[in-house]
Amino acid sequence: MNHISRPSTPSADLPSDLGPSTHQRLNMYALAAGAAGVGLLALAQPAEAKIIYTPANVTILGPHGSYRLDLNHDGVAEYTLGNTTFHNTDQHIWNLSESGVAGNAVAGTFIYRGVPGSAHAFNKGDQIGPGVLFFQGPERMVSFYSGGGGYSAHGNWVNVRNKYLGLKFRIAGQTHYGWARFSVEVKTGPVRVIATLTGYAYESTPDTAIVAGQTSSPEVPGTDALNQYSSEPAMLGLLATGAPALSIWRREEAGM
């Protein structure tokens, strides 16, 4: 006589004295625990880092100082910063300015046609993203004038410490937001503008705002707890089935 082997069922090796009710509960758990475990494991995956931060310590000095800012380190600068001086017969002008490359923009205020805008100085914690006014082309951070009418300093970046430039640029045709942190000092006798870049960051997810000063993505709450429970779905199921199932598990652990 030919014997036909059949796939074993989850209850095939369980003692018969558990009764049909316990067998049924364990069989149902065998199907549900797998799905539950997979679901918890999926929830417990660590969040992908989104904030790309680069610390820096770069001083940009005049009269012909410049710096090319490459936010995503692909070898192509998204912005240029200049610290320049202009002199004629009776006027002297010192300018600290930035300019987006290839259509990239900086948050600021429009002045009037033909004159560079004024770059905004964000505080730590301010949001930079959709809804903020951005302008392409050069924008002034500091302008210092000395001439027949005396001297004066203008701009949002006169003698500031750890303020943030709001950036809007493109990677592979998609819009990203970022910030660059500067401290700026205007000195007289002799006049000079000293700008120090101390770090910059951008949000790697397109069209997503970034918080000024944010250097990393927030952790997903409850990840540790999910990892703990998802690694032991079988134990959760045994607890749910009651004392008979726990007795089986103890015997298996003991090698009986």
Work out the percent of the chain whose per-residue pLDDT is above 70. Answer: 64
- Report d(CA 218, CA 216) in Å as an integer: 7
Contact 114, 104 (CB under 8 A): no
- Report d(CA 212, CA 165) in Å as an integer: 8
Closest residue by Cα to residue 198 from 162, 225, 171? 162
- Report d(CA 62, CA 67) in Å as an integer: 11
Whether pLDDT at 235 is above 50: no
**Residue 88 CB-density burial (10 A; 0-12 exposed, 13-18 middle, 19+ buried):** exposed
- Report d(CA 138, CA 181) in Å as an integer: 18
What tens digit of pLDDT does each residue of 119-141 get?
A: 999 999 999 999 999 999 889 99
- Report d(CA 148, CA 248) in Å as an integer: 96
Contact 110, 136 (CB under 8 A): no
Average pLDDT, the chain: 77
Whether pLDDT at 145 is above 90: no
Mean pLDDT of 245-249: 43
Q: Can you point out the beta strands (E) in 40-123?
A: 51-61, 64-69, 79-87, 92-100, 105-109, 117-119
| Predicted pLDDT of residue 181 | 98
Contact 139, 82 (CB under 8 A): no
DSSP 122: B
**Residue 42 CB-density burial (10 A; 0-12 exposed, 13-18 middle, 19+ buried):** exposed
What tens digit of pLDDT does each residue of 152-200 get?
A: 889 999 999 999 999 999 999 999 999 999 999 999 888 899 999 999 9
| Predicted pLDDT of residue 231 | 41
Which long-range CB contacts under 8 A does 60-66 form with residues at least 24 apart? 60/96, 60/194, 60/195, 60/196, 60/197, 61/192, 61/194, 61/195, 62/94, 62/192, 62/193, 63/94, 65/195
